[in-house]
Amino acid sequence: MRALVTGGAGFIGSTLVDRLLAEGHEVDVVDDLSSGSMANLADARANPDHRFNFHRLDIRDGALVELIERRKPEVVFHLAAQIDVRVSVSDPVHDAMINVIGSLHVLEGARRAGARKVVFASSGGTIYGAVADEDLPAKESHPQQPLSPYGITKKVVGDYLFAYRELHQLEFTALALANVYGPRQDPHGEAGVVAIFAGRLLRDEPCTIFGDGAQTRDYVFVDDVVDAFVRAAHKGDGLIINIGTGIETSVNELYATMARVAQVDRPAVSAEARPGELARSSLDASRAEMQLGWTPWTDLAAGSAAVLEFFRQRDAG
């Protein structure tokens, strides 16, 4: 398969690129390196079969449409985005220029190239908005009422994907990701707390827990997420599909697990709760099991060990 990955120099994107190359696919990456890095693509660039091409380009640039048309991918994995919810609140125009207009360039390119499918990285933690306790873990049928400009852009791109399928027969799957963590992750992403804790635990610095630490998230490991992307290239047509574990982990539990794995026994430091923080979040992934044959297999202790090891090696090197 010939694949094009936008955001392929980022955390999830570069892990996807490595997996696609390992399976023998030909991969083009488009990334402006605003938060991603070439270091994430070191393995891909060393690929002996030369099945890898990197294009440094901002997806807001209309030249992307011609680039995709020229490269003629069969499947476009669209992951490039402004990912910081707080930035989307302080500068929603900037956020929408990347996440909406940039996404439209991707869709136009895919349409003109005659691509078979677009697999989109949506956000299960934000598109549903506030989910009532009795509706957790959230299903895809939950109303989409995002509470941040970032969540709105993810919802809107889902709407465009649906319309492009009807209008232009461009197939899609939107993967509504939970809080993705793993090696190469960025502290600004939706599971940023894992990277922050890892860095501080390794430097033997105290970790801060805001509020009572009972707030929960659904932490899903990056390799498991990438597996869902690969499956979605051929399955789950026309659907939004949650990718999460369905398990709610509190910040207190996350810290306890990571501290145990890092063999640190100092307690976390408490700080005042952050206003507007969602109290609970988790995603029901039964549709992913049914439609993609996907279930997550990495538990939090194993995943945390991989993150700690990655940061340890990076700091040493």
Residue of the chain from 144, 148, 179, 216 that contacts ligand NAD (CB under 6 A): 179
Interface with ligand NAD includes 216 (CB under 6 A)? no
CB of 222 to ligand NAD, least distance (A): 8
- Residue 273, both tokens: 């709760």
Place of tokens 């393995």: 43
Burial class (CB in 10 A: 0-12, 13-18, 19+), 206: exposed
Interface with ligand NAD includes 31 (CB under 6 A)? yes
Total length of the chain: 317
Rounded Cα–Cα distance for residues 106 and 83 (Å): 17
How many Cα neighbours within 13 Å face the side chain of 112?
15
CB of 120 to ligand NAD, least distance (A): 8
Q: Which is nearer to ligand NAD, 18 or 32 (CB)?
A: 32
CB of 219 to ligand NAD, least distance (A): 9
Residue of the chain from 3, 4, 5, 10 that contacts ligand NAD (CB under 6 A): 10
Interface with ligand NAD includes 80 (CB under 6 A)? yes
CB of 69 to ligand NAD, least distance (A): 17
Number of residues lying near ligand NAD (CB under 6 A): 31
Residue of the chain from 26, 171, 190, 224 that contacts ligand NAD (CB under 6 A): 190
Interface with ligand NAD includes 102 (CB under 6 A)? yes
Please tell me which residue in 128, 150, 160, 255 is annotated as part of the active site.
150
Is residue 150 flagged as an active site residue? yes
Residue of the chain from 21, 44, 98, 233 that contacts ligand NAD (CB under 6 A): 98
CA distances 112 to 75, 237, 297, Å, are 13, 20, 38
Q: Which is nearer to ligand NAD, 98 or 307 (CB)?
A: 98
Task: Kindly write down the DSSP assignment for every residue of 152-174, as one continuous string.
Answer: HHHHHHHHHHHHHHHHH--EEEE
Place of tokens 């209309």: 62
Q: Stretches 42-50, 138-146, 177-185, 253-261: which one binds ligand NAD (CB under 6 A)?
A: 177-185
Residue of the chain from 18, 21, 35, 201 that contacts ligand NAD (CB under 6 A): 35
Rounded Cα–Cα distance for residues 77 and 177 (Å): 14
CA distances 89 to 95, 147, 194, Å, are 9, 10, 22
Which helix H or strand E contains 21, and what residues bound it?
helix 11-22
Q: Stretches 2-10, 46-54, 137-145, 245-253: which one binds ligand NAD (CB under 6 A)?
A: 2-10
CA distances 102 to 1, 94, 132, 167, 220, Å, are 24, 11, 32, 20, 26
Find the helix packing angle between 63-71 and 103-113, rounded to 10°.
Answer: 30
**Rule CB under 6 A: which residues touch ligand NAD?**
7, 9-13, 31-36, 58-60, 79-83, 98, 102, 121, 123, 177, 179-180, 186, 189-191
Which residues are known to be catalytic? 150
